[in-house]
Amino acid sequence: DTEVTQTPKHLVMGMTNKKSLKCEQHMGHRAMYWYKQKAKKPPELMFVYSYEKLSINESVPSRFSPECPNSSLLNLHLHALQPEDSALYLCASSQEGFFYGYTFGSGTRLTVV
Amino acid sequence: AQSVTQLGSHVSVSEGALVLLRCNYSSSVPPYLFWYVQYPNQGLQLLLKYTSAATLVKGINGFEAEFKKSETSFHLTKPSAHMSDAAEYFCAVILTQGGSEKLVFGKGTKLTVNP
């Protein structure tokens, strides 16, 4: 298995809703990442998990809450989002040693109404 | 601090023509550099990477890139464009922060291939 799987592919949520994005990989990668990508912009890093521990939080608002239950799973819990949070959310994973590059999932297209 | 700059937000070529997408890096030490491609409504796919083993790097789909330290460049090329190459291309570099590493992207170049 050489893929990063993200679910759901599309999500529409209201500003008072609570939802979660899920990311899964079975490549034995020990680092996992969440990126946010706005239209016509590059992906921007949100969080880095290394060996299931949060190692980088790029000053992301608390309405985004990451969770890494085990080495294969990464969740992003969403609560009280704003319309400007609408974006493509990408998950990635990598082997130990950054020179291998990251493997990206196909993303979750989030729309906040 | 390390970063990458992509020159040209849009590049348009004819099918069969040379593709050249430009990326310059700023770094005081040899960087780890990557090129990724993103097709519409999809995630990112690794095209190739430079990790100091060889200055000319060959990737997937006929792409290659040459690391030139004297020019601080890592331009992406393909001898003959195909319609299926139309996509967004991102140059990226590894930054280290607090003992962790993160991949940071340039602003991207949209490649259009005309028939």
Task: Tell me the per-residue pLDDT of B2-36, one tens digit each, with 9 for 90 and over.
Answer: 689 999 999 999 999 999 999 999 876 668 899 99
The chain B residue lying nearest A36, using CA atoms, is B43
* pLDDT tens by residue, A58-88: 999 999 999 999 999 999 999 999 999 999 9
Say how far apart CA A35 and CA A43 lie, in whole Å. Answer: 6
* CA angle, B86 then B90 then B95, to 5°: 170
**Is residue B53 scored above 80 in pLDDT?**
no
**DSSP secondary structure letter of residue B84:** G
Other beta carbons within 10 angstroms of residue B1's beta carbon come to 7
8 Å CB contact of A48 and B100: yes
Chains A and B form CB pairs within 8 A to the count of 56
Two tokens, residue A36:
């946010």
Measured between beta carbons, the chain A residues lying within 8 angstroms of B108 are: 41-42
8 Å CB contact of B43 and A50: no
Pairing of strands B109-114, A53-57: unpaired
Say how far apart CA A53 and CA A70 lie, in whole Å. Answer: 10
Two tokens, residue B15:
């099918």
Tell which residue, A89, A47, A83, has the closest CA to residue A68: A47
* Per-residue model confidence (pLDDT) at position B2: 67
Tell which residue, A68, A64, A80, A54, has the closest CA to residue A22: A68
